[in-house]
Homo-oligomer: A and B are copies of this chain.
Amino acid sequence: MGQGEQKFRWVGTRPIRHDGADKVTGRASFGADFSLPGMLWGRVLRSPHAHARIRKIDLSAALAVPGVKAAISAADLPEIPARSRGSSEGPVDFADLSRNLLAREKVLYHGHAVAAVAATSREAAERALAEIQVDYEPLPVVLGLDEALAPGAPILHEGLRTRGGPDHGPTNVAGRIVFERGDPEQGFGQADLVVEREFRTQTVHQGYIEPHAVVARTDADGQAVVWCCTQGPFMVRAFSAAVLGLEVSQIKVIPSEIGGGFGGKTTVYLEPLAILLSRKAGRPVKMVMSREEVFRATGPAAATHMRVKVGVRRDGTLTAATARLCYEAGAFPGSPYQAGAMTVFAPYRLEHLFVESLDVVCNKPKTTAYRAPGAPQAAFALESVLDEIAQSLDLDPIELRLRNAAREGSETPYGPRFRRIGLVECLEAARSHPHASAPLGPKQGRGVAVGFWFNAGMNSSAELHLNEDGTAVVVTGNPDIGGSRASMAILAAEELGIDVQRVRPVVADTESVGYCDTTGGSRVTFATGMAVVEAAREVVRQLRERTARLWGCEPEQVAFVDGRCVPAEGSGLDHDPLPVAGIARQAARTGGPISGQAQLTARGVGPGFGVHLCDVEVDEETGRVQVIRYTAIQDAGRAVHPSYVEGQLQGGAAQGIGWALGEEFVFDEAGVLQNPGFLDYRMPVASDLPPIDTVVVEVPNPRHPYGVRGVGETPIVPPLAAVANAVARASGVRMTRLPISPPRLLEALLQRAGDRAA
């Protein structure tokens, strides 16, 4: 099979997902659902300071509390020396990871883990936490980008130098990246209009429903088994081994179902602690975060401060653009500042551009990936400026984007040229969608925005076992965060020509399948799906071989068509077709079990583009914004299971709307989060949103056997700008700072009224 105009039997259909009944009936087993006999409860002591030196930690009184079986602090982890930051490193700094798991020299944010205990009850563990003596030397708190970048700012990490930048001595700027092309000044000189604006976005959280949870058991020989909720069981294994000084084969990770991750479950918080506690206590240890702990010490997504400048001719042709982006990394380096820089101008053809992006540490929890990390913020800035340009030049905002849209052969800001992409097709679908021309009422406005995400390939493995009755098991190592079990089963069923419900998709543990990189980067259906297709083709090869043995001919004389082995054309053979089940039943006498396996580093990633249309109505008396219509349009390459593609579009849009309108970490001056719960951290609920309409465009990715592109992340990129642009057109006020919450919009409306009155 390949892409193009083929007819598929399963690809593009909507079978009920294999894990559906269990999930809707509440029987699926999530992180906290697992228990072991004799299990202890682990709890974490967290810092009451946002910035302080640790003089001493004394665990002895805690260990004396009845029921307490183990207590640990950073002294129990092997010390990984903090490398000279700023030097070239791998993607993960285990010195930092270790210090984020358990603070060593300093605590760097309020809620930073300092120690952990395991006891026979939660109550005993809590009592023990209260007995841990920590001697802190409080330090001045650096709460955000402005404070961190101010001259003479307190320094979080004394050894930190700017990676990718000149060495000016100790700094809070952990990294800098620059992309440039042509001569922006010359480009601005050719422009009829130049718009330059400054934007700020807030700290938001991934807001997954399921808190982090783990059970770890360490066997007598030091082998650890870890049950946990994660996007990456192989990541948990590798990271835990690295910070604990173990071999990866000493740790087995069994992933549970996952109640949301969105990038926030691509690192470890509890797992190495639970392993260490179980090793010390000689008993299994369970740890489950409270919602408050999730908010104070995991995630969040980076806050930003951005300045974007765009030049344009009267006809709408962009002549130049520059962007200066600052991303908050939180306590340790590692914000998505590079992705921000790479994505900000990617959707558009630009002869002249300059992007600089900084990674800045401050006394907040270390940021973690959040769906298309770094891109929504940057798109918010650029797409707001483009909307203002369209308004100023009286151009249709879709037309403006179409005129400048990247297409096959366009150079990306970061180097390579795009292969076949679907941005133009998405913009055309937007233009012709009824939503684009629907009339608007008073106080209503319509926003348009484009979003881009690379999508990832990386490493995947898959196995396909044909059972003796012709049913099949397809095994991968990627937790199913968006319906990927169904996609894997569909791809296997399509290749094998058997009913999709006769394929059982399995998410295996780290010892039962080859290495799989983390579920993330919108890579699973693309890359792991590619491995499934390869494994299935290996099974088909074996099916032809087995049939040849049964027919006494050569495998080349056997063709595989629609799930059956048939005599190949010109083979001169005359046999009845042999279905998969028939071959499976005879496997034991034709060479043994039939299984296929594939491992690959997926090449040929297909970038994803989306266009969102958003209508809002603004209540000028309260500042409240109501989204009244929303359409998300995206190129999926090929929608393997359209319902889950649509679900990704809807979910991304919903999260983006929340980011635009309501979600926000509120810190006090001491760096203490004031709203660590879903009551005060306002995520959109069903009643806040209209039904989100979707259009799935299919411009097949030429380098995937079914044309698949990743789809999970792009949908969160446009909404921030789409909502803000709609608000600007509905109210006449352009909000450059998120969230556009009622008090903030009301203040802007009153300000404008005051300006007009003056």
Chain A positions near chain B (C-beta within 8 angstroms): 18, 20-22, 24-25, 27, 33, 35, 37, 219-221, 223, 238, 241, 247-250, 252, 458-461, 463, 465, 467-469, 471-473, 475, 502-504, 506, 508-516, 587-589, 591-597, 599-602
Contact = CB atoms under 8 A, between A and B. Distances in A.
Contacts of A512: 475, 506, 508-509, 512-513
Given A20-B221, A37-B33, A467 B592 contact: no
Nearest to A18: B221
Leading 10 A-B pairs by shortest Cβ distance: A512-B512, A249-B471, A21-B221, A515-B593, A514-B595, A592-B601, A21-B220, A597-B597, A25-B220, A593-B599
Nearest to A600: B592
A40 to B, nearest CB: 15
A285 to B, nearest CB: 14
Given A471-B248, A502-B249, A461 B219 contact: no
Contacts of A458: 588
A504 B515 contact: no
A730 B588 CA distance: 50
B469 A248 contact: yes
B219 A21 contact: yes
A511 B515 contact: no
B219 A22 contact: yes
Contact of A504 (B249, B514, B589): B249
A249 B472 contact: yes
A511 B473 contact: yes
Q: Is chain A's interface secondary structure helix, strand, loop, or mixed overall?
A: mixed
Contacts of A592: 459-461, 515, 599-602
Given A37-B35, A471-B249, A592-B459, A27 B220 contact: yes
Contact of A248 (B27, B35, B461, B468): B468
Contacts of A595: 461, 514-515, 597, 599
B514 A465 contact: yes
A231 B601 CA distance: 37
Contacts of A252: 506
6 contacts: A25-B220, A247-B502, A250-B504, A465-B514, A515-B593, A593-B599
A22 to B, nearest CB: 5
Contacts of A461: 465, 592-593, 595
Give the number of times this chain occurs in the complex, counting copies: 2
A205 to B, nearest CB: 30
Contacts of A220: 21-22, 24-25, 27
B597 A467 contact: no
Given A247-B467, A248-B468, A459-B593, 13 more contacts: A25-B220, A247-B469, A249-B472, A249-B502, A252-B506, A461-B592, A463-B463, A465-B511, A509-B512, A512-B513, A591-B601, A593-B599, A596-B597
Contacts of A250: 504
B221 A467 contact: no
Among A219, A223, A593: residue with most chain B CB under 10 A:
A593
Given A220-B25, A471-B247, A591 B600 contact: yes
A515 to B, nearest CB: 4
Contacts of A593: 459-461, 514-516, 599-600
Contacts of A589: 601
A416 B509 CA distance: 45
A550 to B, nearest CB: 14
A597 B504 CA distance: 20
A515 B464 CA distance: 11
Nearest to A601: B592
Among A463, A510, A515: residue with most chain B CB under 10 A:
A515
A222 B100 CA distance: 43
Contacts of A25: 220
A468 B601 CA distance: 14
A19 to B, nearest CB: 8
A504 B37 CA distance: 25
Contacts of A460: 592-593
A508 B511 contact: yes
A587 B241 CA distance: 18
Contacts of A508: 511-512
A504 to B, nearest CB: 4
A244 B569 CA distance: 42
A184 B510 CA distance: 61
A468 B237 CA distance: 11
A114 B367 CA distance: 61
A478 to B, nearest CB: 13
Contacts of A33: 37
Nearest to A588: B459
Contacts of A596: 597
Given A468-B515, A511-B506, A512-B512, A249 B37 contact: no
Nearest to A218: B27
A580 to B, nearest CB: 13
Contacts of A467: 247-249, 515
A475 to B, nearest CB: 6
A730 B21 CA distance: 70
A22 B225 CA distance: 13
A511 B475 contact: yes
A721 to B, nearest CB: 35
A119 to B, nearest CB: 20
Nearest to A38: B27
A241 B252 CA distance: 30
A281 to B, nearest CB: 13
A238 B468 CA distance: 8
Contacts of A516: 593
A467 B459 CA distance: 12
A325 to B, nearest CB: 29
Contacts of A463: 463, 514, 597
A459 B247 CA distance: 32
A541 to B, nearest CB: 13
A515 B600 contact: no
A510 B593 CA distance: 13
A15 to B, nearest CB: 12
Contacts of A472: 249
A221 B511 contact: no
Among A223, A471, A473: residue with most chain B CB under 10 A:
A473
A539 to B, nearest CB: 10
A428 B219 CA distance: 45
Nearest to A589: B601
Contacts of A594: 514, 599
Nearest to A221: B21
A597 to B, nearest CB: 4
A468 B471 CA distance: 32
Nearest to A20: B221
A242 B20 CA distance: 26
Among A465, A508, A602: residue with most chain B CB under 10 A:
A465
A98 B461 CA distance: 39
B473 A249 contact: yes
